[in-house]
């Protein structure tokens, strides 16, 4: 498959964002995924989120592993540098990139095989290290690219296309991310862009590890009845705890809500998350409560979605390492090389 | 009884200790004392893969001639480990000396008649002097150093001075150490026949040289080379590379204004993550490295292929140890050449650098970062345990302040703005090296998608055969360009023209230089060439062509450099004769010269004069 260029015709009335960019400026190459694949909806949501947030495309670095899901960074943000790395190891590559330049926005895209099977080690460690990033898993409960094998997030009892039942226990990446210290944790559904776009926006504005598990049906290998990751199944079992709206620091607050039903969370960059409660008594700043709620609802067969946890005061990896404000990749020779005089003194101490 | 060995400034002394007993710093003090007497020493740690309670040895060669390779044999044993007593006593050369702790009486059968036995009641002396158990242990070591100072006729003031320098500002420690030293010295002076037949006489053989281990030098090289990101996973014998980098960064890279770090060091969860972070950082324009050993190299293979194919700079310090598998984790070998040179699946080839000593660990270690960015590829710096973890006398480090980091071919914002054509994998200059952009360079131009899958010259996904072939041929050209950029080999010509050549690399050089003189004394003249980089420079290939027999001296079992030479130079294998040492101990001059002499006799090759070269 070779690359197809998209036509560049823009109508004069095309909407532009504050930077003067159109949505098209945030698009990428034409997708080669199957028609109807949930992953393509997620790409569209990312495009919309970046457009809405007035992000300069070159301030984003998008990284992925291997899989249908990991191919998608080619299909959005075409003016951003992308890195399609190796299977299951995107988190380490992203960590290194983030160390090199703290100023860019890092967007990691992965699949359930990529993150929960081969890459579960790196997934866990990137969360516990507090890397400043948005990490999206496009979770279809199956290995799409290698044609339909069960993945580590396939639910126990879920059937594959040939009727074989999965007997292994599933890994819940949301549960793991919560336990390991991610400071923004959400779950969504590729078929619900009203929910997904604001969650992505909130994550992109968040400082620290932001994780979104997006259930994203694989129409070719895992959309049949008996699968717990099909469009129908997810629609029927989706239980959102809240609805999020992201208000940029500069935007006037217009929406009016019933008192008591709204919660405001101010993030590091001044952006405000408006959380409209759907589930009674759900507190998205209570990590333990979030974990309990998830377990409880999971046992009832529900798929809990929404912004499950946010800690807007968390520290990130650069803070832990106490690195200088200026990106390391921009420090010149004079800042890095101690020079010959220091070396002469060192030599003296070694005699 | 054999005559007691008499030797001035030329002997081997070995300390048999218990791991974790604090002997390391005492032994180091002793080595430095000899250096302060102006006499070269070459110490080597022989230690097990345990932290406490297991035997360790510190073998130190004193050599007025300046030979820094391992000699073999032992003239004086300081036997401080009852566990290894029998073996240690047996190891001493006939006529040698034995220093031991005589607190507990040992049966006569435990000694040898042909050794000069020098007992001192160290434990008793310490128990009398100190009440604290740890002090008793630590000062026992300093006491034997005091005794040796007297026995070998070392200037007491030099040792005192060293203690003074080491603990400057901590007066209590200085006084306590000097007291222990003096106790040992006094005892030897009044109870033992000082000096013995082995003596250290003041000389002037050190010059400007410094005394440091290769791993520290490599860590310092990374600081000078501009590395800002280090990701690693602990493994012997490489761990101290990053420890040194950390210490030197704290010292030289802490922002004076706000105390913040101009570097980032992450201890990763494994070697896969380490190299992944290095590649991520390199892709994003920071100089990054990892340090590891054989098992880590094995784990990193898939990523090496990615960095090779996606053309991302990275520096890997591989401090080699005995393989395969966990192998001999605390012994030295040069056995990762092939797994580095051809690392990863598919048609890959990598750039290797072979430093010989701490000086080159620093120098070539720093240069590796320029090379990695110039070539946009991983560069492997292959140390081994022998140079990595042992202090070695070497030339003082030097740095040219006018040197600017070579960041390689970068497309700048200005060039992009001016509309210059940018094909990430396009060979514009004919040297196979394309231009790259760093993420964030320009708002609308120069972004590209990096991948390990095939693509065309403009970084667009492509499975077209012609695109693939273009790329592979360009990579081959790039590798060819590397031949003239890696450190050039160093030739030491024999005193006479000769058809015999010897190729060696890395830590072998110390023993090799000495072996050349041993061979010369037997009338065998051989040119020697120290290879410092891969791909091989023309001078390496010419050297093989210009000699009839070429011995390839290596510290591995399968002759890995020889394999590389045959494969890359298309030489007749018969011409390249293996000289292989791989029992985990550092190679010796005696071994090399013995093997070469025997091979020449066997092949009935008189050390022929070289045919007149035309
Ligand atoms: C080391 C390695 N092993 C196996 C593969 C083959 N492989 C490619 S994608 C994939 C699974 C991807 O699954 P997932 O991450 O869920 O992505 P999806 O295609 O479902 O979006 C596998 C096993 C590989 N590329 N690399
Ligand atoms: S195989 Fe499944 S996951 Fe892959 S593109 Fe097709 S629908 Fe999407
Ligand atoms: Mg999947």
pLDDT, tens digit, 9 for 90 and up, residues B554-603: 999 999 999 999 999 999 999 999 999 999 999 999 999 999 999 999 98
Which value does ipTM take for this structure?
Answer: 0.96
CB of A3 within 8 Å of any CB in chain B? Answer: yes
Burial class for B423, CB neighbours closer than 10 Å (0-12, 13-18, 19+)? middle
CA distance B341 to chain A (A): 21
B22-26 contacts: CB < 8 A, separation 24 or more?
B22/B134, B22/B137, B22/B138, B22/B141, B23/B56, B23/B58, B23/B80, B23/B141, B24/B58, B25/B141, B26/B138, B26/B141, B26/B142, B26/B144, B26/B145
CA of A222 to the centre of ligand 3 (A): 9
Task: Tell me which CATH code domain B212-394 carries.
Answer: 3.40.50.970
Contact call for residues B72 and B93 (beta carbons, < 8 A) = no
> What's the confidence (pLDDT) of residue A319?
97
Return the residue of B nearest to A98 by Cα.
B281
Q: Is there an atom of ligand 1 within 6 Å of A120 CB?
A: no
Beta bridge partners of B432: none
CB of A350 within 8 Å of any CB in chain B? Answer: yes
Q: Report residue B138 as tokens.
A: 């630590």
Task: Please answer yes or no on whether B273 and A318 come within 8 Å at the CB atom.
Answer: no
Q: Report residue A153 as tokens.
A: 């997030």
CA-nearest residue, atom 26 of ligand 1: A87
Q: Is the pLDDT of residue A155 over 80?
A: yes
CA distance B114 to chain A (A): 37
Residue with structure tokens 């480090």? B397
Put residue A177 in one of left, alpha, beta given phi > 0 → left and psi -120 to 50 → alpha.
alpha
Q: Is there an atom of ligand 1 within 6 Å of A145 CB?
A: yes
Other beta carbons within 10 Å of B296: 24
Burial class for A335, CB neighbours closer than 10 Å (0-12, 13-18, 19+)? middle
CB of B405 within 8 Å of any CB in chain A? Answer: yes
The partner residue sitting opposite B261, judged by closest CB among A80, A125, A324, is A324
CA-nearest residue, atom 4 of ligand 2: A144
CA of A169 to the centre of ligand 3 (A): 16
Contact call for residues A33 and A56 (beta carbons, < 8 A) = no
Q: Is the pLDDT of residue B607 over 80?
A: no
What is the number of the ligand 1 atom nearest to the C-alpha of A69? 21
Spell out the domains of chain A, with CATH numbers in brackets: 23-325 (3.40.50.970)
User: Boundaries of CATH 3.40.920.10 in chain B?
Assistant: 7-199
What is the number of the ligand 1 atom nearest to the C-alpha of A65? 15
User: Boundaries of CATH 3.40.50.970 in chain B?
Assistant: 212-394
What predicted TM-score, i.e. pTM, was given to this entire model?
A: 0.96
Q: Is there an atom of ligand 1 within 6 Å of A42 CB?
A: no
Mapping DSSP to helix (H, G, I), strand (E, B) and coil, where does residue B550 land?
Answer: strand
Q: Is the pLDDT of residue B534 over 70?
A: yes
Q: Is there an atom of ligand 2 within 6 Å of A160 CB?
A: no
Query: How much is the average pLDDT of A224-228?
Result: 95
CA distance A58 to chain B (A): 5
CA-nearest residue, atom 5 of ligand 2: A33
Determine the Cα–Cα distance for residues B439 and B286; give it in Å rounded to an integer. Answer: 11
Determine the Cα–Cα distance for residues B97 and A230; give it in Å rounded to an integer. Answer: 82
Q: Is the pLDDT of residue B2 over 80?
A: no
Strands B351-353 and B533-534 come out as antiparallel
CA distances from B306 to B224, B276, B311 (A): 27, 10, 8
Which one is the CATH code of B490-613: 2.40.128.720, 3.20.20.70, 3.30.2130.10, 3.40.50.920? 3.40.50.920
> What are the chain B neighbours of A344 within 8 Å (beta carbons)?
396
What separation, in Å, do the N-terminal and C-terminal C-alpha atoms of chain B show?
59
Determine the Cα–Cα distance for residues B11 and B453; give it in Å rounded to an integer. Answer: 59
Query: How much is the average pLDDT of A15-40?
Result: 96
- DSSP-derived secondary structure letter, B610: P
Q: Is the pLDDT of residue A256 over 70?
A: no
Q: Is there an atom of ligand 1 within 6 Å of A68 CB?
A: yes
CB of A322 within 8 Å of any CB in chain B? Answer: yes
> What's the confidence (pLDDT) of residue B152?
98
- Please, what is the average pLDDT of chain B? 96
pLDDT tens digits, one per residue of B465-524: 999 999 999 999 999 999 999 999 999 999 999 999 999 999 999 999 999 999 999 999
pLDDT tens digits, one per residue of B379-436: 999 999 999 999 999 999 999 999 999 999 999 999 999 999 999 999 999 999 999 9
Q: Report residue A171 as tokens.
A: 């890994």
Q: Which fold has domain B7-199?
A: Pyruvate-ferredoxin Oxidoreductase; domain 3 (3.40.920)
Helix or strand (DSSP H, E) at B476:
helix B465-483
Q: Is there an atom of ligand 2 within 6 Å of A308 CB?
A: no
What separation, in Å, do the N-terminal and C-terminal C-alpha atoms of chain A show?
63
Q: Is there an atom of ligand 2 within 6 Å of A99 CB?
A: no
**Of the listed ranges B52-61, B102-111, B297-306, the one predicted with least confidence:** B52-61
Label residue A249 by pLDDT band (50, 70, 90). Answer: confident
Return the residue of A nearest to B301 by Cα.
A86
> What are the chain A neighbours of B272 within 8 Å (beta carbons)?
89, 92, 122
Residues 275-334 of B with CB under 8 A from A: 275-286, 288, 302-303, 306, 310
CA-nearest residue, atom 9 of ligand 1: A67
Q: Is there an atom of ligand 1 within 6 Å of A119 CB?
A: no
Q: Is the pLDDT of residue B280 over 90?
A: yes
> What's the confidence (pLDDT) of residue B50?
74
Q: Which of A142, A153, A215, A219 most suits a substitution to test ligand 2, by most atoms within 8 Å of the C-beta?
A: A219
Contact call for residues B586 and B511 (beta carbons, < 8 A) = yes
């Amino acid at each position: 498959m070779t690359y197809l260029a998209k036509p560049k015709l823009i109508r004069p009335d095309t909407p532009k964002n504050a930077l003067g960019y159109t949505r098209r400026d945030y698009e990428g190459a034409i997708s080669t995924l199957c028609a109807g694949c949930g992953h393509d909806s997620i790409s569209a949501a990312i495009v919309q989120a970046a457009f809405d947030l007035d992000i300069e495309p070159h301030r984003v670095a998008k990284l992925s592993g291997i899989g249908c899901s990991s191919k998608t960074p080619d299909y959005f943000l075409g003016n951003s540098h992308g890195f399609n790395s190796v299977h299951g190891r995107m988190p380490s590559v992203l960590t290194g990139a983030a160390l090199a330049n703290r100023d860019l926005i890092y967007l990691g895209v992965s699949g359930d095989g990529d993150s929960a099977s081969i890459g579960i080690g790196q997934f866990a460690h990137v969360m516990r290290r507090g890397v400043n990033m948005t990490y999206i898993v496009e979770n279809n409960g199956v290995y799409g690219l290698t044609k339909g094998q069960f993945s580590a997030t396939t639910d126990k009892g879920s059937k594959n296309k040939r009727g074989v039942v999965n007997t292994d226990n599933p890994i819940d990446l949301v549960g793991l991310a919560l336990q390991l210290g991610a400071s923004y944790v959400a779950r969504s559904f590729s078929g619900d862009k009203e929910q997904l776009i604001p969650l992505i926006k909130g994550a992109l504005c968040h400082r620290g590890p932001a994780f979104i598990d997006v259930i994203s049906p694989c129409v070719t290998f895992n959309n049949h009845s008996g699968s717990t990751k099909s469009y129908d199944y997810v629609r029927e079992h989706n239980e959102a705890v809240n609805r999020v709206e992201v208000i940029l620091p500069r935007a006037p607050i217009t929406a009016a809500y019933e008192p008591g039903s709204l919660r405001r969370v101010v993030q590091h960059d001044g952006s405000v998350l408006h959380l409209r409660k759907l589930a009674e008594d759900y507190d998205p700043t209570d990590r333990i409560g979030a974990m309990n709620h998830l377990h409880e609802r999971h046992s009832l067969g529900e798929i809990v979605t929404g912004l499950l946890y946010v800690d807007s005061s968390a520290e990130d990896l650069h803070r832990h390492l106490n690195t200088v404000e200026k990106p390391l990749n921009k420090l010149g020779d004079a800042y890095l090389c101690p020079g010959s005089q220091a070396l002469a003194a060192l030599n003296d101490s070694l005699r | 009884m054999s005559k007691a060995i008499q030797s001035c400034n030329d002997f081997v002394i070995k300390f048999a200790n218990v791991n974790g007993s604090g002997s390391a710093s005492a032994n180091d003090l002793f080595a430095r004392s000899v250096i302060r007497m102006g006499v070269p020493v070459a110490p080597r740690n022989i230690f097990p893969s345990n932290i406490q309670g297991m035997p360790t040895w510190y073998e130190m060669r004193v050599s007025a001639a300046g030979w820094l390779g391992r000699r073999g044999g032992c003239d004086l044993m300081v036997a401080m480990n009852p566990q290894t007593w029998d073996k240690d006593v047996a190891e001493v050369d006939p006529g040698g000396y034995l220093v031991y702790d005589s607190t507990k009486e040992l049966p006569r059968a435990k000694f040898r008649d042909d050794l000069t036995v020098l007992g001192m009641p160290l434990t008793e002396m310490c128990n009398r002097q100190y009440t604290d158990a740890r002090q008793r242990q630590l000062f026992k070591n300093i006491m034997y150093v005091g005794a040796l100072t007297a026995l070998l006729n070392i200037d007491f003031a030099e040792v005192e001075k060293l203690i003074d320098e080491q603990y400057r500002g901590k007066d209590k420690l200085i006084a306590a150490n000097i007291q222990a030293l003096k106790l040992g010295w006094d005892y030897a002076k009044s109870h033992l026949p000082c000096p013995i037949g082995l003596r250290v006489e003041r000389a002037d053989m050190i010059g400007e040289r410094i005394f440091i281990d290769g791993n520290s030098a490599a860590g310092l090289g990374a600081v000078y080379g501009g590395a800002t990101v280090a990701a690693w996973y602990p493994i012997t014998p490489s761990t101290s590379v990053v420890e040194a980098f950390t210490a030197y960064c704290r010292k030289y890279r802490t922002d004076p204004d706000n105390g913040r770090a101009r570097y980032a060091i992450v201890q990763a969860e494994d070697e896969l993550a380490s190299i992944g972070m290095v590649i991520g950082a390199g892709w994003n324009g920071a100089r990054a490295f990892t340090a590891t050993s054989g098992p880590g190299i094995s784990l990193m293979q898939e990523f090496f292929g990615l960095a090779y194919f996606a053309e991302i700079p990275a520096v890997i310090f591989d401090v080699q140890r005995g393989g395969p598998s966990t192998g001999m984790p605390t012994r030295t070998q040069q056995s990762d050449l092939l797994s580095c040179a051809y690392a990863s699946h598919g048609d890959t080839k990598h750039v290797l650098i072979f430093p010989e000593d701490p000086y080159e660990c620093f120098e070539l270690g720093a240069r590796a970062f320029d090379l990695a960015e110039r070539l946009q590829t991983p560069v492997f710096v292959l140390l081994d345990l022998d140079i990595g973890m042992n202090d070695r006398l070497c030339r003082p480090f030097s740095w040219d302040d006018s040197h600017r980091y070579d960041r390689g071919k970068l497309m700048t914002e200005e060039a992009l703005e001016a509309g210059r054509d940018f094909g990430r994998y396009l060979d514009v200059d004919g040297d196979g090296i394309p231009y790259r952009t760093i993420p964030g360079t320009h708002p609308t131009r120069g972004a590209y998608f990096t991948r390990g899958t095939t693509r065309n010259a403009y970084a667009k996904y492509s499975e077209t055969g012609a695109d693939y072939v273009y790329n592979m041929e360009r990579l081959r050209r790039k590798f060819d360009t590397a031949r003239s950029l890696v450190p050039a080999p160093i030739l030491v010509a024999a005193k006479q023209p000769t058809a015999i050549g010897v190729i060696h690399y890395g830590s072998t050089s110390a023993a090799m230089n000495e072996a050349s003189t041993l061979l010369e004394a037997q009338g065998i003249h051989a040119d020697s060439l120290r290879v410092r980089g891969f791909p091989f420079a023309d001078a390496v290939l010419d050297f093989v062509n210009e000699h009839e027999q070429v011995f390839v001296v290596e510290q591995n079992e399968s002759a890995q450099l020889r394999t590389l030479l045959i494969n890359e130079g298309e030489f007749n294998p018969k011409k390249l004769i293996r000289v292989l040492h791989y029992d985990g101990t550092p190679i010796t001059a005696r071994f090399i010269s013995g093997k070469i002499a025997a091979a020449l006799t066997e092949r009935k090759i008189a050390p022929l004069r070289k045919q007149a070269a035309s």
